[in-house]
Amino acid sequence: MKILVAVKRVVDYNVKVRVKSDQTGVETANLKMSMNPFDEIALEEAVRLKEKGLATEVIAVSCGVAQCQETLRTAMAIGADRAILVETSTELEPLGVAKILKALVDKEQPSLIILGKQAIDDDCNQTGQMLAALIGCAQATFASKVELMPAQVKVTREVDGGLETLSLTLPAVITTDLRLNEPRFVTLPNIMKAKKKQLDTLTPESLGVDVTPRIKMLKVCDPPTRSAGVKVADVAALMDKLKNEAKVIQ
Ligand code: AMP
């Protein structure tokens, strides 16, 4: 059983991004880039399923610029068996990525496709859902537990007020939530081993996929700065302000 995992290269979650002065986006030059945290969880889950003997091969896929190779080498150091880079300099939208992944699913025929629930740069939370629709297969988003069986997968999801358990027929798409697992640390010997693993490079064109953007970004701007708070002398003054200035109590 093959598992395909989508891993996106994003600005590291510890970096505080700055909006470009012309409001066309955020500064990404010279910033630390890392694997999207939800994708690390997706990969960890796939590797654990392989270690349990439930899967035979884990393939990591990244779509984007040539530097995504670094993310894919990290994926192979975590435990992916091989990797595919779909290289393009076009700014990809979730639909473009979903179409690329669909083409790879047709080619590789995985039983399970695991993605992060969202990329921390665009916060779209769309790619997994779009991919499942394009394949026409079952999907379980925001997974917090995954139990793989030969022809089906049981997924527990955190929903408002409790847990929902779904049983999906394979092939299926799963997107990962934060509590699914805790990804392992990458060790130096595994980084060295990953250098020798297979990394194929394709292009959207070679897969017959049109990734022309359909959305035009109008502008990106900082949130309004908060005005400074005021100190009140006592509870009576606070009540007076809440009642007469903020008008939030009667
Ligand atoms: P999004 O819908 O953009 O929030 O992304 C959800 C998930 O789709 C991510 O966590 C990744 O697993 C996958 N994904 C999105 N963009 C890419 C990309 N360029 N390359 C690989 N995987 C991606």
Does residue 152's CB lie within 6 angstroms of at least one atom of ligand 1?
no
pLDDT in the model for residue 128: 98
Atom number in ligand 1 closest to CA 114: 12
pLDDT in the model for residue 63: 98
Q: Whose CA is nearest to atom 10 of ligand 1?
A: 116
pLDDT in the model for residue 124: 95
Q: How far is it, in rounded angstroms, from Cα 132 to Cα 37?
A: 21
Give 246 Cα–ligand 1 centroid separation in angstroms. Answer: 42
Series of mean pLDDT values for 10-residue runs along the chain (250 residues): 97 93 90 96 98 97 97 98 97 97 98 97 96 98 95 94 95 97 96 97 97 92 88 94 91
Give 249 Cα–ligand 1 centroid separation in angstroms. Answer: 45
Could you tell which of 3, 34, 36 is best to mutate to test the pocket of ligand 1, judged by most ligand atoms within 8 Å of the CB?
36
Nearest to 121 by CA among 71, 80, 56, 87: 71
Does residue 38's CB lie within 6 angstroms of at least one atom of ligand 1?
yes
Residues 106-162 have pLDDT tens digits of 999 999 999 999 999 999 999 999 999 999 999 999 999 999 998 999 999 988 889
Does residue 92's CB lie within 6 angstroms of at least one atom of ligand 1?
yes
Domain definitions of the chain by residue range: 2-225
Using a 10 angstrom Cβ sphere, with 0-12 exposed, 13-18 middle and 19 or more buried, the burial of residue 207 is middle
pLDDT in the model for residue 69: 97
Does residue 63's CB lie within 6 angstroms of at least one atom of ligand 1?
yes
pLDDT in the model for residue 163: 93
Strand partners, 154: 147, 167
Does residue 64's CB lie within 6 angstroms of at least one atom of ligand 1?
yes
Does residue 126's CB lie within 6 angstroms of at least one atom of ligand 1?
yes
pLDDT in the model for residue 210: 96
Give 54 Cα–ligand 1 centroid separation in angstroms. Answer: 25
Could you tell which of 59, 93, 127, 211 is best to mutate to test the pocket of ligand 1, judged by most ligand atoms within 8 Å of the CB?
127
DSSP line for 93-148: PHHHHHHHHHHHHHHH--SEEEEES--TTT----HHHHHHHHHT-EEEEEEEEEEE
Q: What is the pTM of this model?
A: 0.90
pLDDT in the model for residue 223: 87
Could you tell which of 97, 102, 174 is best to mutate to test the pocket of ligand 1, judged by most ligand atoms within 8 Å of the CB?
97
CATH superfamily of domain region 2-225: HUPs (3.40.50.620)
